[in-house]
């Protein structure tokens, strides 16, 4: 619901008192759902991205999606689609990701997006609800979609933050992926020991928030608990960070790809952890190197490591 035009660049040194001249390395469609759809397409799946777009940035976003041969439906909005700027400082090897809030949607605009999802035929197996929510969109927007999906037996995969996170979990979803900050927003802590983390996750699953709950832990990998009693943790191999943009979306992409292909929750989860570790090793916001993914997957191990 809050896509962006992602502009990637680099400069030798960022200055605070003069111009920092940059080289542009890429201009890509961005935003959680868009990133996931493009990754799934690269993996050989059929995916439809749904997003509102407006203004010059919105037109360019749609054009880039067409060039990528990515299927999409994109209702028009009056406001300008946002642009995000990602700059790498070569001297320090630090990346700066500048994210702007996005447009203010009118009720008729977000209602049109809601209608697009509800009228997709045939109903998809999975509905990925991903990314932040722009101003004007109610906090229960994803929750409304989750309720609709449940009535159609569509499996919802959720990857969002507050204020959209809680209403959606209250509606109940098939799978929810939270990072440490999002888990903390729900009143839990990821700073304690293994057992306290799992206890907090178990309580959410027990309340019906998600059939499968994943909490990502950065370099410590990720933990999973399911209503079927699975308790898993996978840790990726040590990885040099080139770009953290889209790592969480890569996780969701590989996870959904494996589940859609009939793989087990355990293996899909392992691929998700490996995909995030793969994505951060390459520039841009996509999971480009699928051969590298297989190598990282082989070295992604089960068990907590601190």
The three-class DSSP label of residue 279 is: helix
Task: Find out whether 185 and 160 touch, Cβ atoms under 8 Å.
Answer: no
Spatial CB neighbours of 19, under 8 Å, sequence gap ≥ 6 = none
Separation of alpha carbons 198 and 231, rounded Å:
8
Separation of alpha carbons 78 and 67, rounded Å:
24
Q: From the candidates 45, 135, 249, 291, which is the catalytic residue?
A: 249
Q: Which phi and psi angles does 24 have, rounded to 5°?
A: -85, 125
Strand spans (E) along 93-209 = 94-98, 126-130, 155-159, 173-178
Axis crossing angle, helix 32-42 with helix 247-260, rounded to the nearest 10:
50
Separation of alpha carbons 256 and 258, rounded Å:
5
Task: Find out whether 223 and 214 touch, Cβ atoms under 8 Å.
Answer: yes
Q: Which two tokens stand for residue 20?
A: 């920092």
The three-class DSSP label of residue 155 is: strand
Look up 199 and say whether it is catalytic. Answer: no
The number of C-alpha atoms within 13 Å of 151 and in the hemisphere containing its C-beta is: 7
The three-class DSSP label of residue 262 is: coil
Residues tagged active-site: 249
């Amino acid at each position: 619901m809050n896509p962006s035009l992602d502009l990637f660049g680099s400069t030798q040194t960022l200055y605070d008192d003069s111009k920092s001249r940059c080289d542009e390395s890429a201009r890509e469609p961005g935003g959680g759902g868009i990133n996931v759809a493009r990754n799934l397409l690269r993996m050989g799946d059929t995916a439809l991205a749904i997003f509102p777009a407006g203004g010059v940035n919105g037109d360019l976003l749609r054009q880039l999606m067409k060039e990528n041969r990515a299927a999409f439906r994109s209702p028009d909005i009056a406001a300008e689609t946002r642009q995000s700027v990602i700059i790498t400082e070569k001297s320090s090897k630090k990346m700066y990701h500048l994210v702007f809030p996005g447009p203010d949607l009118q009720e008729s605009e977000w209602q049109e997006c809601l209608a697009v999802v509800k009228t997709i035929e045939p109903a998809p197996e999975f509905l990925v609800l991903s990314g932040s929510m722009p101003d004007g969109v109610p906090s229960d927007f994803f929750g409304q979609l989750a309720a609709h999906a449940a009535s159609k037996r569509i499996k919802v995969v959720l990857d969002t933050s507050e204020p959209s996170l809680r209403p959606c979990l209250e509606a109940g979803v098939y799978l929810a992926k939270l990072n440490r900050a999002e888990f903390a927003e729900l009143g839990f802590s990821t700073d304690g020991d293994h057992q306290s983390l799992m206890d907090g996750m178990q309580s959410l699953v027990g309340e019906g928030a998600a059939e499968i709950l994943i909490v990502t832990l950065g370099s410590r990998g990720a933990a999973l608990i399911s209503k079927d009693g699975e308790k898993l943790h996978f840790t990726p191999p040590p990885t040099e960070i080139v770009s953290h943009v889209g790592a969480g979306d890569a996780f969701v992409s590989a996870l959904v790809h494996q589940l859609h292909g009939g793989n087990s929750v355990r293996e899909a989860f392992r691929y998700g952890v490996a995909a995030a570790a793969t994505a951060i090793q390459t520039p841009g916001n996509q999971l480009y190197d699928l051969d590298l993914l297989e190598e990282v997957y082989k070295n992604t191990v089960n068990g907590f490591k601190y």
